[in-house]
Amino acid sequence: MNTNRFVLISGCSGGGKSTLLIELARRGYATVEEPGRRIVKQEMRGAGLALPWVNEVAFARRAIEMALADRAAADTASGWVFFDRGLLDAASALQHMTGENILATLGRIHRYHHRIFLAPPWPEIFVTDAERRHSLDHALVEYRRLLDLYPSLGYEVTILPKASVAERADFILRALTE
């Protein structure tokens, strides 16, 4: 599995990651939607309990499972594959909540491109909705944890500019060729 072409876009909730992935997909790149959003949609269709506001631990475990499946499926794609969040975000959340030391193992075995892009807090575009019920304050705490996490796992963190979606996509594609 050549994971050097797996590009992780992480960062602050409500920072424009999903919109950015839509733009990258429009340009012909393979993209993988955030596991958390997909889980919330699935759980809300039924009597799901793996919702972040019901059972955060179950939610994080489902996100890890989904992210592992996403990575396996992405191996068949050619070229860059852009992930909206992913395995390391979910493992970090689970470890933070439970103290389980899973991040080091998963982070060593399942690598992404050495450069990870973080969407910074952007209060002007942050919104809550049926799938994102947490506050900006909650998102900021998570962002700070991720900002510390990725360098500790040996990744180079690049903060995305607060710019148009097209400019952000151009920024990422330029940075990947440096």
pLDDT, averaged in runs of 10, over the chain (178 residues): 83 84 97 87 79 78 91 92 92 90 86 94 62 64 88 95 96 94
* 134-148 residues labelled b (16+ CB within 10 A) or e (exposed): eebeebeebbeebbe
User: Edge to edge, what strands does the sheet with 81-84 contain?
Assistant: 30-32, 81-84, 6-11, 115-119, 156-159
> 3-176 in CATH: which number?
3.40.50.300
- Residues linked to residue 137 through DSSP beta bridges, in sequence order: none
With a CB cutoff of 8 Å and minimum separation 6, the contacts of 153 are 88, 103, 107
- Three-state secondary-structure class, residue 18: helix
Q: Are 120 and 11 in contact (CB under 8 A)?
A: yes
Domain boundaries, the chain: 3-176
Which uninterrupted H or E stretch holds 81?
A: strand 81-84
Give the type of residue at 127: V
Residue whose structure tokens are 């690049």: 158
